[in-house]
Structure 1
């Protein structure tokens, strides 16, 4: 249902300065009982804004809120109140009736023949039926039929049920684009209609398959003859081909680029749409795309223009020579348990530079170097590999040069709350992997245990005395080794 606000002109003799608000009304419908029955109805419901006047557009004589004796159709009523107006519209549909039977058929064999058949089967039930075109015909099968629609009507259900089958003269349709773009020539296929099933195909091109691919430039009439050798029946068809040629375009692109370096391609061709393609995966539809290539040496680039119908012209082709970069390949690692930085350079370039922060340290391209920086800090390492053609490469690494490992296990501590030596052990700066520290009394009873390098023992509720500890940890200088140690610590209060 649709609600349409309208301004009333002529009905009251004046033109409202603005549309009146809609009346709060709707339409309630009663559908026709059966198709073509004129027993449907529509009623305007709602009383806010009334009293109302009603103008039904299908019958000007109706002035009340209800329209009766309606067929399936589109209906409109103008509802006008003291200070409101609304146009209500409703599409009253025919009810759907389930078929109370089925209709089988056999096709007409050849054009002009009258050898089609239809066979009607009524659904189980207390139904009666008859053929629409010949009510006196009682056979469920009709033979010797030509083109047409054959219908049986079934009575006994809520509504009459119509079951139909349509027969037609066989003919040959050739499927495929007749008006085609030169860059997308069509494939033509035999599409015989009305059940015709040929087994022999002969195209005017000499092809004998059911489908043929058309070569670009082909225009004019293409004909096809198909034959059903079992029936001895032949059909012919034809299609007239017209080729459309898309627009030509021109463009410019860099002669050379460094690998993975941006360049710009441009065109001034005025066409409806563009399609750029470059390298293996690069695409764009703008007039000046930024292009880059991930592979070296000669790489393709093309531009195709399209007209308003979407027909593409022949792509303009070019290539860009992509100069390879000599990778700035290097590794950096701290020598365990030292302030040494070990660097391994592997660049094929003849000119290199290695920086720590903003400071130049080395001009080495290949080889291994150890630097003693004599301090522990966060490092920003950058290696430049340069070439005369400016296809330079850069690699950066952020590295934390950590302090030498510390495990301070003092032989005494005083947990008296004065803030001095209140906990045990002292500073610990070692890898947490496989760390295990446990404290026992002299009788072998465990009093404290941890696998966390940041845990501390307070000696809580234990008397003054000497305690035994065992520690196991990964060797921070040789990570493949495990260190196990035993000692004593005095708790003094």
Structure 2
């Protein structure tokens, strides 16, 4: 590198001549290495002269190169900065003189300086480090987890952060499926932070219970919801409160709704919940007599059928004699046959009947058919 040096001053008592050609100057600037001289001549006695020379050497200023990184994650692991030539001194925030840089906890920038002195010349260079935000990941201490499909491990999600797990899953939380170590890796731009937790997976209570039960509300008859035989080390608790059996596997209910069973394993403290839906569903019912006596004595004089939970709009009844003639027909379940055909009471005999109907609660079953025979007796 080019520098500047001033030769002089010298006393101005004569004529001054510099080797550079400059005259009558008591001092001159020089900018390159070399031998410089000056001659001073007595103006009265030119034979009297004074001479002096000097060798000027300009040493180059050290050329400094600083290395990466130019960005680093907050709260990251300390890094050793590099620069060349080696042997200089670092200065600035969060850095030691030897160049060990400890990232701060807050985002921002640090301007660092590396200085080196060689042959009396000092060179320096600055380096700006950008501190990037880093995810905060903490899975907490090692712990036990119940294998009930409800106890997750993980962290609270933060927008902009990508999460990956040791088992190949992604997202801020997972359901552990075995005992062992699980790690999570959180990535935010260039910053990646991880944490590990050891999980002991405990068995949760297991029962076998139907997901649906049918209760016929109009019949006002209770049903039993059965979660299996009792296990001695299990505790049971049903909600809402049933008619009976709140702390047993079997309960009696009389209202359609969702019933939830909480089961606790008293050996390891694990719980599990199970649900069943009690639905208002009634099976269709048709009661048909097998004999009646249309003799006007006031006792059993009509062929009456009794129905429950069938669709009244899709009903038909037909009664036939042994030759296939239709003796009676109706599309209303309340109609009854008085044993007459064309105004006359039929003679004692057996008569076939066919009823077509649809279920009120199960219309998807379509048209159903019921067949039988009734005896007319006097």
- Band the TM-score falls in, shorter-chain normalisation: 0.3 to 0.5
TM-score, length-scaled by structure 2: 0.39
Larger relative contact order, structure 1 or 2 (CA cutoff 8 Å, min sep 6): 2
Q: TM-score, normalised by structure 1?
A: 0.31
Larger Rg: 2
